[in-house]
Structure 1
Amino acid sequence: MSDEQAGTVLRAPAEEAFAEELAALERVDDRVRPGSWRLSPWAVATYLLGGTLADGTVVTPKYVGPRRLVEVAVATLATDRALLLLGVPGTAKTWVSEHLAAAISGDSTLLVQGTAGTGEEAVRYGWNYARLLAEGPSRAALVPSPVLRAMAAGQLVRVEELTRIPPDVQDALITVLSEKALPIPELGGQTQAVRGFNLIATANDRDRGVNELSSALRRRFTTVVLPLPATLDQEVEIVARRVGQLGRALELPELPGGAQEIRRVVTVFRELREGVTADGRTKVRTPTGTLSTAEAISVVTHGLALAAHFGDGVLRARDLAAGVLGAVVRDQVADRAVWREYREGVLRERADWRDFYRAACEFD
């Protein structure tokens, strides 16, 4: 990517956005590195979890959660087993997989996006049909998939939403993961994986349209379950950091009131998600949506845009109410009843939340 492009893209890949941190880690990293890895496993974990290096460089945390989970994930990728990041929507599976690929391979863009329409060529290879018809099967006519490119280069490849891919296409990965080779019968040969190749997949079992993994495929993975943030303070920290990063990328100003309003949005989401208020005194019904940390980030970022462009320069409850309502009410009958019950039974009773309560009523 050119310097000019880097200044205009909405979201640069992790290896570009955090290039200085990765370079600093590479300079001080004197530990053993597996074949083709840019950093040692210790340095990769430090990049994900954050820390201060010996030369004083501060590495920002990319993931806030149990250290052991990150260590297990990184150690898995140093073996011949693939890694499956599992969790409910919004638990940073994609975010973690991108940063793992950036730190290990220096390239997070080798990606297969799983959908119900993902075909086998996305996992194996396709053909340039003009050349195929003109010249017959040849390496020049072959269009390699991201998996095939990663195998040849000794890099990590990411497969997003693995369980959304049809089962017969999923199983095309079995030979790749077990034999570390991909047959190309049309050319009478195969591509063998170079040392450093591995695969990171993400999946969740909460959305519709999920296809179970075959036992043969699941055996090829080490599964790491990424949990939702354990505490309110932890989740507030995650949301505040990501909102700050997104705000800078979108050129939104930092507004007064942000810390208080972020805490209130996260509190609402956690209470509805867990079915009980923060003080443990009142049970509440849960809506059909996941109300994930990622959704809280989206709600607050949208609120910042409203406050900056149409408000008085201070992030207020009114800037967030519509986004909160949209996140909670997915089913217009069941979820709306849950929301109104929570609003009247919980929000209304909090004296220091009167502005939030009024805003919630205004947008409902």
Structure 2
Amino acid sequence: MTPPQNNTAPEVLRQHAEQAYAHELAALAQHDRFPRPPKWNLSPRAVLTYLMGGRAGDTEITPKYVGEARLMEIAVATLATDRALLLLGVPGTAKSWVSEHLAAAISGDSTLLVQGTAGTDENAIRYGWNYARLLAEGPSEAALVESPVMHAMRQGKIARLEELTRVQSDVQDTLITILSEKTLPVPELNTEVQAVRGFNLIATANNRDKGVNDLSSALKRRFNTVVLPVPDSLEDELSIVTRRVESLGRSLGLPDLPPALDEIRRVVTVFRELRAGVTEDGKTKLKTPSGSLSVAEAISVVTNGLTLAAHFGDGELSSHDVAASLIGAVVKDPVQDQAVWNEYLETAVKKRAGWKEFYTACREVS
């Protein structure tokens, strides 16, 4: 017998922002009465509404970023100037998420992406060659392979560069001419590509990587930096985790489960307390583990717990489902982090009202 299928999930595992939120972007464009910079699909005000949430006619715009609106105003305004935007923050502060949604709202295309790594070379940022055609015909436009940045320059769109500080310093500096002169020379063809209006670049960097490949002072001057902080309050972080878990559940085709806000609140509380080194009430100091304990990891823990509950449990997220994934997120170092975790359970969790089942479940898998 063929088991019933969940037909509400999209075919692709993860849609691009401009696909997943196409109805919101269309509604904002329809009701947008403010001036738009050249090649922008929406005005800066409409882009801000898309990020922070609101309404466009009868359509509710869901918030993509939970935090200080002024930070998003600065980010959007930067992209309307000739300065590039650098989103800086610790892991899990939604840098990539914000970058994707900015590109989707402004250009309608978030796919012009360069993923920065230690192995990223100049070709990934500038251009490459189809070597079969290059050998057969020599250098020509037909043999040229555009990078996402070059394509964005030609089309007047937003390009994205993830983890800029992971890229080697000499490769980073490839951006200087692009960002200052808005030109990409192609000496092999004795020509250049000049950026058309609407082009800009969003880069992200993890400030825990400081010192890995620091940006040169010349490159820093080409960016306006916006530092994204961790969520200010437990309620803000809870809202972020809940929304993203619901979205991931739909994309993964998980059965609809009743909301388990108590369990999600516990996960978020654990992450915030261990990250800060003190309990939420400020009464007990705690040792911090070696991991970052980011919001993204909290989302992963809850999603894994929901998957366990859906496929191997009674369909309701329980402390036992959460605990199984939580340990792996906290205990990265089996010696140091395990000691930190055990101490946290005994000093902060054991006597906390309403947390007995959670404490027992964590002890069973520790």
- Given candidates 312, 315, 330, the residue that maps to 1:313 is 315
Moved more, 253-262 or 327-336: 253-262
Does 2:186 align with 1:181?
Answer: no
Q: Give the match for residue 30 of structure 2.
A: 27
Deviation at 1:30, TM superposition (A): 1.2
Distance 1:118 1:363 in 2: 40
Q: Give the match for residue 11 of structure 2.
A: 8
Q: Give the match for residue 77 of structure 1.
A: 79
Distance 1:356 1:211 in 2: 42
Alignment of 1:133-172 (within 5 A): 133-172=135-174
Q: Give the match for residue 128 of structure 1.
A: 130
Distance 2:115 2:268 in 1: 29
Deviation at 1:336, TM superposition (A): 0.8
Alignment of 1:1-364 (within 5 A): 7-53=10-56, 55-207=57-209, 210-256=212-258, 258-364=260-366
Distance 1:137 1:194 in 2: 24
Distance 2:182 2:345 in 1: 55
Please say if residues 89 and 227 of structure 2, whose CA atoms lie closer than 8 Å, have aligned partners that are also in contact.
Answer: yes
Give the 4+ runs in structure 1 shifted more than 6 A. Answer: none
Please say if residues 88 and 206 of structure 2, whose CA atoms lie closer than 8 Å, have aligned partners that are also in contact.
Answer: yes
Please say if residues 257 and 316 of structure 1, whose CA atoms lie closer than 8 Å, have aligned partners that are also in contact.
Answer: no
Distance 1:256 1:316 in 2: 11
Deviation at 1:257, TM superposition (A): 5.4
Deviation at 1:142, TM superposition (A): 0.4
Q: What's the CA shift string for 1:122-142, capped at 9, x where partnerless? A: 000000011111111000000
Distance 1:78 1:177 in 2: 14
Deviation at 1:7, TM superposition (A): 3.3
Question: What secondary structure is seen at the aligned counterpart in 2 of 1:140?
Answer: helix
Distance 1:255 1:103 in 2: 31
Deviation at 1:254, TM superposition (A): 3.1
Question: What secondary structure is seen at the aligned counterpart in 2 of 1:159?
Answer: strand
Please say if residues 319 and 357 of structure 2, whose CA atoms lie closer than 8 Å, have aligned partners that are also in contact.
Answer: yes
Q: What amino acid sits opposite 1:330 in the alignment? A: K
Distance 1:325 1:208 in 2: 28
Q: What's the CA shift string for 1:40-73, capped at 9, x where partnerless? A: 00000000000022x2211000000100000000
Deviation at 1:209, TM superposition (A): 8.1
What stretches of structure 1 of length at least 5 have no aligned partner? none
Distance 1:346 1:296 in 2: 19
Please say if residues 306 and 321 of structure 2, whose CA atoms lie closer than 8 Å, have aligned partners that are also in contact.
Answer: yes
Distance 1:131 1:269 in 2: 53
Deviation at 1:207, TM superposition (A): 4.2
Paired residues, what number? 359
TM-score normalised by length of structure 2:
0.96
Deviation at 1:251, TM superposition (A): 1.4
Question: What secondary structure is seen at the aligned counterpart in 2 of 1:8?
Answer: coil
Please say if residues 116 and 209 of structure 1, whose CA atoms lie closer than 8 Å, have aligned partners that are also in contact.
Answer: no
Question: What secondary structure is seen at the aligned counterpart in 2 of 1:228?
Answer: coil
Q: What amino acid sits opposite 1:33 in the alignment? A: R
Q: Give the match for residue 3 of structure 2.
A: none
Distance 1:303 1:254 in 2: 14
Please say if residues 297 and 329 of structure 2, whose CA atoms lie closer than 8 Å, have aligned partners that are also in contact.
Answer: yes
Distance 2:299 2:41 in 1: 31
Q: What amino acid sits opposite 1:27 in the alignment? A: Q
Q: Give the match for residue 4 of structure 2.
A: none
Please say if residues 83 and 222 of structure 2, whose CA atoms lie closer than 8 Å, have aligned partners that are also in contact.
Answer: yes
Distance 2:133 2:250 in 1: 45
Distance 1:281 1:171 in 2: 48
Q: What's the CA shift string for 1:217-271, capped at 9, x where partnerless? A: 0110000000000000110011000000101111112323511100000000001
TM-score normalised by length of structure 1:
0.97
Please say if residues 165 and 210 of structure 2, whose CA atoms lie closer than 8 Å, have aligned partners that are also in contact.
Answer: no
Distance 2:333 2:29 in 1: 49
Distance 1:156 1:278 in 2: 40
Please say if residues 10 and 251 of structure 2, whose CA atoms lie closer than 8 Å, have aligned partners that are also in contact.
Answer: no
